[in-house]
Amino acid sequence: MTNSFNSIKCKDITWEGRADCLHCLIRRHDVLATVDVAQHEELLRPIIQYKYCRKNNLYNQGDEATDLFIVRNGMLKLEETLKDGTARIVRLIHRGGIAGIETLLDQNQSYEQSAIAVHETEVCKIPFRVFHNLMNIVPEFIDAIMKQWQQQLEASENVLINFSTGPLKQRLARIMLMLVEESYKQGNTEINMLQIEDIAALTGVTKESVSRVLAEFKRSQLLIKISPHRFDFDKEGLREIADS
């Protein structure tokens, strides 16, 4: 299953039509796995599928919240812009993850971070009230939501512990290994490289520092450029640095 759509030119946001939950192959990965979609077809009708290309915003910090987004494939960043203008990624959202979960609480009427695609990413856009209805109707759905909340918590802890602690070399090796795992999941044999600035926002350092360390990785053949954004890698070598 290589991502055929990676080769297609991609810049914007594409409307991919009403979601077909009944025949959705990846539903088992997300919270809707707990829902009998045939039974609730009516309720699920407003769900729309979109494709967001690299760098497109799903929503911005502070925007009024109307929808949640489930990631079908690709990767999102949840990013907070700090007072001094720099950005900090608080967590990454992978397949099955939800962007905007904080808006499920009644008191939150707006998004707390910006959600932006870091790779080409397909999502299902689900109106807020559909989620609320499902929570009222399907008991198992609540369990799935709690599980999702815990996963988001772990995703943030991951950024803190693995990407924001220790020498930069180590942190970047860990990020590369995360990208390796991600590429396996997508059926690729090469890394889909993040932008330098995203890596900087993930580690809390400057983009120059990131660039320097990655240059070192390339010189020592830990990363080998295949094409723009595409890299082959030395997993063992990266692992060694990550665990050092």
Torsion of CA 215, 221, 224, 229, to 10 degrees: -30
Taking the least distance from each CB to a copy of itself, the nearer of 50 and 163 is: 163
Task: Pick one of 135, 168, 183, 224: the residue that binds DNA (CB under 7 A).
Answer: 168
Per-residue binder mask for DNA (CB under 7 A), 72-91, x = binder? --------------------
Please report whether residue 205 would count as binding DNA according to CB under 7 A: yes
Geometric angle at alpha carbon 186, from 47 and 72, rounded to 5°: 10
Q: Binding to a copy of itself by residue 104, rule CB under 8 A? A: yes
Q: What are 216's two structure tokens? A: 């070192």
- As measured in angstroms, the least distance from the Cβ of 175 to DNA is 13
132 contact partners, CB below 8 Å, separation of at least 6: 104
State yes or no: residue 166 binds a copy of itself (CB under 8 A).
yes
**Cα 46 from Cα 19, distance rounded (Å):** 8
Partner whose footprint covers residue 83, from DNA, a copy of itself, none (CB < 5 to 8 Å by kind): a copy of itself
**Interface pattern 21-60 for DNA (x via CB under 7 A):** ----------------------------------x-----
Residue recorded with tokens 């997300």: 30
By a kind-dependent CB cut-off of 5 to 8 A, residue 195 interacts, out of DNA, a copy of itself, none, with DNA
Nearer to a copy of itself, 41 or 208 (CB): 208
Q: Is 208 in the site for DNA (CB under 7 A)?
A: yes
Burial classification of residue 201, based on how many CB atoms lie within 10 Å of its CB (0-12 exposed, 13-18 middle, 19 or more buried)? buried
Most distant CA pair in the chain: distance in Å? 57
Nearer to DNA, 67 or 120 (CB): 120
Q: How far is the CB of 8 from a copy of itself (least distance, A)?
A: 35
| Other C-beta atoms lying within 10 Å of the C-beta of residue 71 | 26
Q: What does the CA dihedral 204, 189, 225, 5 come to, rounded to 10 degrees?
A: -80
Please give the residue ranges that form the binding site for DNA (CB under 7 A): 9, 11, 55, 167-169, 195-197, 204-209, 211-215, 218, 228-229
